[in-house]
Structure 1
C-alpha cells in the first residue's frame, strides 16, 4: 500500500504541551483545531500534535492525491518533529489513518485511540432532502453568529443534518460545531473529498490486516452513529488483538462534542491501565 517515492507535503500543525507525544488526526471535513476537545485537555500532561491533513485546514495542496499521500505526509511530520514513538488518536477518517500508520510504522506507534471509525467503514445515513440542506445552512449560519443559541437549536438544528451527527442537541455540542466544524468544512478542498470517496467506493477494508497490530487500542463509538455505524466500529474492535471497546448510548458521530467529559475520563482511565503506551522506554 505504501509508496516511498511519493513527495510529502509540509503539513500545518498545532503542537501543544510537553511530555509523551500524542498524534491527533482529524476526520473529514476537519482540521487540527477540530480536535481541541482532546488537545486542550491532553496537552496539560502530554505533547499533542494536531496537523491539518493534506487538502484540509491550512495544509493547502494543488492537484489530486489519494489516501496514501496522507501517510507519506504524516511520516515526514514525525521525522521533522524528531518523534521516534507516539500514541495516535484518530477521529473518523483520522482513525483509519491511525490504523494505517500502526500497520506501516509498528515500531513508532505505541497505541491507538480510535474514535467513531472502522477498518471497514459502513454508514446508514438516510437520503438527504432539500429541506435538510436548507435547515442545515440556516442552523450553521445562525449558530456561527450566536453559538449554542437554544432557539436556533430547537427551530433549525434539530431539523437539520446535525440530527444525524449528534443526538444530544446541547449548547456545548453546538459551540464546538461553530468553533471547529464550520471553519473546517469551509477549508476542506474538493481534492480531499475526492480522495476519501474514491477510497470508500473502492471498498476500503483492512479488517483482516488488523491482526498485525499488537499495540494496545481503545475503540470508542456512538450507538446512533449514521456515518460510521456502531456495528462497523465493534467489528474493528473485535479484529484488534489488544483492544478495549466502549460505546455510548444516545450519541452519534460527533459524540466527543456531545459528552466530552465522559469521553475524556474514559481515555484517562485507559491510559492509566496501559502505561506502556505513554512510556519513553524502548
Structure 2
C-alpha cells in the first residue's frame, strides 16, 4: 500500500518510524528540529494514522511498505530513527536491506523486547479515560495531572508529569490511539506471541547505531535496550534517569541534543 507520509526539510534523508499506537505526528518532537538539516520522512505505518487498512496483515508487510516508500521518493540510502515498534522495524530494515540504511537511532526499543508492566485493572482504564478526555479538552492542566493523570496508566508511560508532556499526549498520542486499527494491534500481538528475538542477527548490522532508553520504561525495559546495544557492533548507548517509555516527550531538549551530537559525530 502507499503509506501516508509527512515530509519536511531539505538535506540527507532521515526516515522516522513511530511506535504503537502512534502515527507520523508523534514524530514531530524529532522532525521539527531535525528537518532543519535533513529531509525527514515520517510515514503512518500500515494500519495507523491515515494509512488505512481494512484487512489483516503481518509485521513483514511493514517492511514491504517501507521499501516501497523509499522507492517512491527515490531514496537509495538514508538514516533511520525508530521509536519503540519503529525501532524494531528500523533494525529489520537494516538486516533485510543493509544497502539502504546508513545509520540507526533506536529509542525505547529492543531486538528482544521485554517488559515488566503490571496487570491492568478496570480502575486503571477508567482513570486513563478520564485523564485523557480532560487533558484533550484542557491540555496540560495541572489539576488533571495531579488528580487523574498520575493515577492512570500514564504513570507507566512517563515519570516526569509536566504540562509539556501532557500537551504532547493531548495533541499527538490521543489522536494516534484513536486512529490505530485493530489489525495493527493483531499484527503486533502475533509477532510478540511468536517470541520475537533478533539478537543473534544484530552482528550483521555494520552501520553506526545509537540506542537511547528511559530508566523506568515498563513497556520495553532499559535492560532490554541495553542488551540490544551490546549486540550491535558499532553502537553507543545512553539511559535517561527518571524517565519512561515516552522519554522524548519528557525531556525533548536533552534527547534532541544527544541525537544531534551523535549525528554530527558520525555523519
Name the residue aligned to 1:77. 69
Name the residue aligned to 2:59. 67
**What secondary structure, in the 3-state scheme, does the structure 2 residue paired with 1:87 have?**
strand
Aligned-pair CA distance for 1:131 = 1.0
Indicate which of 210, 214, 221 corresponds to 2:213.
Answer: 221
Name the residue aligned to 1:57. 49
Indicate which of 166, 170, 176 corresponds to 1:178.
Answer: 170
Aligned-pair CA distance for 1:194 = 0.3
CA distance in 2, matches of 1:171, 1:218: 28
Name the residue aligned to 2:153. 161
CA distance in 2, matches of 1:107, 1:37: 28
Name the residue aligned to 1:127. 119
CA distance in 1, matches of 2:77, 2:138: 41
**What secondary structure, in the 3-state scheme, does the structure 2 residue paired with 1:107 have?**
helix
Aligned-pair CA distance for 1:204 = 0.1
Pairing 1:37–2:29 present: yes
CA distance in 2, matches of 1:197, 1:223: 24
CA distance in 2, matches of 1:108, 1:114: 16
Superimposed CA distance per residue, residues 83-106 of structure 1 (whole angstroms, 9 cap, x where no aligned partner):
111000000000000000000111
Indicate which of 93, 96, 99 corresponds to 2:91.
Answer: 99
Structure 2 residues without counterparts, runs of 5 or longer:
none
Aligned length: 267
CA distance in 1, matches of 2:38, 2:264: 13
Pairing 1:268–2:253 present: no
> Residues 214-253 of structure 1: matches in 2 within 5 Å?
214-253=206-245
Structure 1 residues without counterparts, runs of 5 or longer:
1-8, 276-282
Name the residue aligned to 2:39. 47
CA distance in 1, matches of 2:186, 2:93: 21
Superimposed CA distance per residue, residues 222-263 of structure 1 (whole angstroms, 9 cap, x where no aligned partner):
000000000000000000000000000000000000000000
Name the residue aligned to 1:5. none
CA distance in 1, matches of 2:233, 2:7: 31
CA-based RMSD: 0.4
CA distance in 2, matches of 1:96, 1:202: 15
Indicate which of 196, 208, 215 corresponds to 2:188.
Answer: 196
TM-score, normalised with respect to structure 2: 1.00
CA distance in 2, matches of 1:194, 1:57: 16
CA distance in 1, matches of 2:201, 2:2: 29
Moved over 4 A (4+): none
